[in-house]
Structure 1
């Protein structure tokens, strides 16, 4: 009988072949040992990850958007990453988007068959009026998910930049950047929510964080675009102003109130000893970057 070549993520892992006979402690040990491969796999792709960041920065600087597309675990990871960008980096609604096969209901309930629909991927991207300045990041552990492949193909035809994140080797990359996170067979064969999912989450964190840093969304490692919509985040904003300007809590609170709780404007006002309008003008003139202003 002819053998079918399985993707690495579908192969049996010899180190966990007797998983159901192990003690609880040994199951944990096996999983932790396997997870050591995650950082190694991500590190091997650091050059491609950096290329993807530069591509994202280039397109977003021109007014484009960052769009993640995936199915199952991959789709959920993309949606989650997109959701974290507005509160962390102050990105406008829709600047970073996530598309999951099966739509919103697939976020909390598995709809595995949705990954096979090529037309749904195209339909979802059409709704966003995809353009040349956009970047579409396809997430597919197997690299062959029809929903993701169709989305990336459609994006390429429109001139959008394309990035593929997968956990299987890619012999010929037909997209702008391919990030191949070869973590090996999963502890439970085919369960790519495990090592593949962890590696993917690491890369998504790097892509968004590094891109936003290059777009001026941080000052050093301070979260200066934080949206202070809760008590915790208002306290964080106040501490940022206190630490950067070296002022007390009272002065920081006053600057934030006068700036409409815009941390960047508050910092320019305090450092330059100017009012709200002038601080806003200076910041706009510097393309939103604090470096060089304070």
Structure 2
């Protein structure tokens, strides 16, 4: 089998380097190509595991911001910005969060979500200007860049820091210097891409894993789940009503009829119905306990049990 000569390219970011494991990928049959891509993808979870302490700091910053009535901002360009926009959009239906809790800023605006906008990611002033108009002191701003040095993202983070917001950066370049003013750097090392420089591959997969873990852990810390069940949704249609009844049955072990009646009494509020069923207090008492517990089901249950004892 002919082997393509390996060329040494002197670049800072490992994502831009040539991958010695895939130099013959264009000579492989389809299953061989897929096998090589899959083998590279399997390296990503371990790379993400290595930066979990830094992700945890970002989660703590996000929880503090949201508890204080502030917001989370994602900032990215290209693939990074598209993944951030997707994560922010999915949190509203998944955890019933207010739509302004997570705000995505993408270089080039909405049009750039569907097609490339030339030079948008190189405009540091544009990133800074957008953040200066929307970020408030106490917010948490999380930037994403595979190279670790995208001007739009770094400009936005610098502006956010000047505004009094905490900042974090998810970078695919572990050798890039930590930008001044960034509170937490999450530099994940996924190594050379299967196709040199195609950071929509392993670097993008790592960003997706980190974003999903970051936002999900934030929701869990804020009490948007009970155990491993989504309990922050409201039953606004037949499909969701069926789902909430199933969740109530899983959480309580009670019959579908009992759960359905409790949900009706709670005006479709799954958390209220859940505290009502698990504690035995009436719906009004369950709602009051949840309000005092900032929506945490377990804290509400503990308070109800303490008052009853």
TM-score, normalization: structure 2?
Answer: 0.89
Deviation by residue 1:219-241 (Cα, 9 ceiling, x = unmatched): 11110112444544322211111
Gaps of 5+ in 2: 1-8, 302-309
Q: Is the 1:170–1:178 contact (alpha carbons within 8 Å) kept by the matching residues of 2?
A: no
1:227-246 superposed matches below 5 A: 227-246=234-253
1:211-222 superposed matches below 5 A: 211-222=218-229
Q: Secondary structure at the match of 2:168?
A: strand
1:245 shift after superposition: 2.2
Aligned to 1:223: 230
1:152-163 superposed matches below 5 A: 152-163=157-168
Give the one of 66, 72, 79 matched to 2:78. 72
Aligned to 2:138: 133
Per the alignment, do residues 218 and 146 of structure 1 end up closer, same or farther by CA in structure 2, a change over 3 Å counting? same
Per the alignment, do residues 171 and 109 of structure 1 end up closer, same or farther by CA in structure 2, a change over 3 Å counting? closer
Q: Is the 2:81–2:106 contact (alpha carbons within 8 Å) kept by the matching residues of 1?
A: yes
1:16 shift after superposition: 1.6
Q: Distance in 1 between matches of 2:34 and 2:148?
A: 28
Q: Distance in 2 between matches of 1:170 and 1:259?
A: 53
Aligned to 1:144: 149
1:6-155 superposed matches below 5 A: 6-128=12-134, 130-155=135-160
Deviation by residue 1:57-105 (Cα, 9 ceiling, x = unmatched): 1221111111111000000000000011111112111001111111111
Gaps of 5+ in 1: none
Structure 1 range deviating more: 186-195 or 250-259 = 250-259
Aligned to 2:206: 199
Q: Distance in 2 between matches of 1:227 and 1:188?
A: 44
Aligned to 1:185: 192
Structure 1 range deviating more: 281-290 or 251-260 = 251-260
Q: How many residues align?
A: 291
Aligned to 1:279: 286
Larger radius of gyration: 2
Superposition CA RMSD, Å: 1.7
Is 1:210 the counterpart of 2:217? The answer is yes
1:112 shift after superposition: 4.4
Aligned to 1:164: 169
Q: Is the 1:11–1:189 contact (alpha carbons within 8 Å) kept by the matching residues of 2?
A: yes
